[in-house]
Homo-oligomer: A and B are copies of this chain.
Amino acid sequence: MKARIHVTLKNGVLDPQGKAIEHALSNMGFGGVDGARQGKYIELDLNETDKTKAEAAVDEMCRKLIANTVIENYSIELE
Contact = CB atoms under 8 A, between A and B. Distances in A.
Interface of A: 6-8, 18, 21, 24-25, 28, 30-48, 57, 60-61, 64-66
A15 to B, nearest CB: 10
26 contacts: A8-B41, A18-B42, A21-B65, A21-B66, A24-B65, A25-B61, A25-B65, A28-B65, A30-B57, A30-B60, A31-B47, A32-B46, A32-B47, A32-B48, A32-B57, A33-B45, A33-B61, A35-B44, A37-B42, A37-B43, A38-B40, A38-B43, A39-B40, A39-B41, A40-B40, A41-B41
Contacts of A28: 64-65
Closest 7 CB pairs of A and B: A32-B47, A35-B45, A41-B41, A34-B45, A39-B41, A37-B43, A38-B42
